[in-house]
């Protein structure tokens, strides 16, 4: 399979547009999970692809071109988080009805769910996102990439430009922090 970003770098504008259309939702989900605000995530996602397009001359073809986009997205998210210290607040005092069969993994899933699942899980999703927002950025990146985006440790290490062991360690710590924070919501 030919690298669509290489084709775009070589002047094929349609290749970049196709790449954008195939990956914009995935990047939006990643950015949203990193910043915790949909409006900001939409703006950052647009900025990711604009920056990528205008930086194609510096793109070095690679096995997984999406890694380059994730790197740009991650950097823009870090900038946003640094520049916008205030994060959305979700009331943790609201009483929740326990949801049978709803797991932590369900709440982290990037897959679309049906309307009844969305209605049932909205409050828990908000609480989950609030706790993800509180994670240190390095832990949040590993969690979002591996548990939400479905990247392997190797892919996440490539995106984050760190060792596989660092990804595993960050992910483990993120899961521990979340498990402790969310234990009162799950049996």
Q: Please, what are the averages of pLDDT over each run of 10 residues along the chain (187 residues)?
A: 86 92 94 91 95 92 87 94 62 39 47 53 78 91 91 91 93 91 76
The last residue of one of the domains, among 20, 51, 86, is 86
Q: Are 73 and 25 in contact (CB under 8 A)?
A: no
Same-domain check for residues 1 and 42: yes
In terms of residue numbers, what domain contains 170?
98-187
Q: What is the pLDDT of residue 120?
A: 53
Q: What is the pLDDT of residue 82?
A: 87
The H helix count followed by the E strand count for the chain is 9, 0
- Report the alpha-carbon distance of residue 174 to residue 141 in Å, rounded: 9
Same-domain check for residues 49 and 105: no
Start-to-end C-alpha separation, the chain:
46
Q: What is the pLDDT of residue 90?
A: 38
The last residue of one of the domains, among 35, 63, 86, is 86
Number of domains in the chain: 2
Same-domain check for residues 55 and 139: no
**Nearest in space to 70 (alpha carbons), one of 144, 14, 171:** 144
Q: Which residues contact 84 (CB under 8 A, 6 or more apart)?
A: 40
Same-domain check for residues 64 and 102: no
The last residue of one of the domains, among 56, 86, 116, is 86
């Amino acid at each position: 399979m030919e690298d669509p970003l290489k084709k775009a770098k070589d002047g094929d504008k349609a290749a970049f547009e196709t790449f954008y259309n195939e990956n914009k939702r995935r990047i939006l989900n990643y950015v949203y999970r990193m910043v915790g605000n949909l409006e900001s995530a939409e703006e950052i996602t647009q900025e990711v692809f604009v920056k990528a397009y205008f930086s194609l001359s510096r793109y070095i073809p690679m096995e997984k071109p999406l890694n380059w986009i994730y790197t740009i997205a991650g950097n823009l998210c870090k900038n946003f988080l640094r520049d916008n210290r205030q994060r959305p607040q979700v009331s943790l005092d609201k009483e929740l009805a326990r949801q049978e069969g709803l797991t932590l993994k369900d709440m982290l899933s990037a897959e679309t769910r049906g309307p009844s699942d969305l209605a049932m899980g909205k409050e828990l999703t908000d609480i989950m996102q609030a706790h993800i927002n509180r994670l240190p950025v390095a832990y949040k990146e590993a969690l979002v990439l591996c548990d939400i985006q479905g990247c392997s440790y190797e892919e996440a290490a490539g995106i984050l430009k760190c060792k596989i062991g660092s990804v595993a360690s960050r992910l483990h710590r993120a899961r521990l922090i979340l498990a402790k924070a969310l234990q009162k919501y799950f049996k």
